[in-house]
Amino acid sequence: MGIEAIDITSCNIEDRRKIVAAYEAKLAGAKAQRDRILIDVRKASAAADMGDQRARFAQGGLNKEDAAAGRLILSLEVQVAEARKRLAMAETQVATVEANRHVMAAPRDGEPVRWFEVRTPGDRVIRHRAASLDALQGALLKGYVVTAEVFGASPAGLGGVAAQIGSDVPSIMAGLLAAHGKDLQTWLASHGVKSTA
C-alpha cells in the first residue's frame, strides 16, 4: 500500500490519521514479507543440512533479503512512531484550543462583539473576538501582541477594516483625509455639514 502525498504542514487530524494508518499498513506488509523470507531461510538451511547444494547457494541470497527486510522494518518503525507523534501533537492542539475557546476574552451577554488582530510569536496575524482591548490583552500569552482593532467585520470575523493600535501609527481618519479629503468635504457640505477650517 502506497502512502498518498499529503502536505503535512496544513493537514488536518483526519489526514494525519490516514498517514499513520498507511505507515502501519506498510510496516505490517514488510513484517509479513520478512516472515516469509525467514521461513524460506529455514527451509533452505534444513535442505542444505541434508546435502542440497542448490539450497546452500540460495541461502546467501535469502540472508541478503532478510537483512534488507530488517532494515526496511526498522525504517518504517521510526516513520510510524514519528507519524503517531505528529498525530498526538495535532490532537492535543485541537483539544487545547477547544478547552480554551471559552476563556479567550469572550464578550459578556449584551456587550458588543469586537474583533482584534493579534500578532503571534511566529509573526502570523490572527483575529480574536473580545469584549474590550484590555480584556484581550489580559488573556494573551507572552509574545502575543494586539496590533489592530477590526471594524465592520462579519460575525465570524471576516472582512472589515483593521485600525492599527499604537501611538506611532496614523489613524484611519488621517489616511482617509490624506487620500480623499476634498471628496469628503464636498460630501459633507452637500449634507449640510459646514467645515470650520
How far from chain centre, in Å, is Cα 129?
21
Q: What is the pLDDT of residue 1?
A: 43
Q: Which residue, among 181, 159, 103, 160, has the nearest Cα to 136 in the 3D structure?
A: 103
pLDDT averaged over every residue in the chain: 83
Higher pLDDT, 65 or 129: 65
Arithmetic mean of pLDDT, 154-169: 78
Q: What is the pLDDT of residue 66?
A: 92
**pTM of the predicted model as reported, rounded to 2 decimal places:** 0.48
Most confident of 47-56, 80-89, 149-158: 80-89
Neighbours of 153 (CB within 10 A): 19
pLDDT tens across 100-109, in order? 655 555 556 6
Q: Is the pLDDT of residue 85 over 80?
A: yes
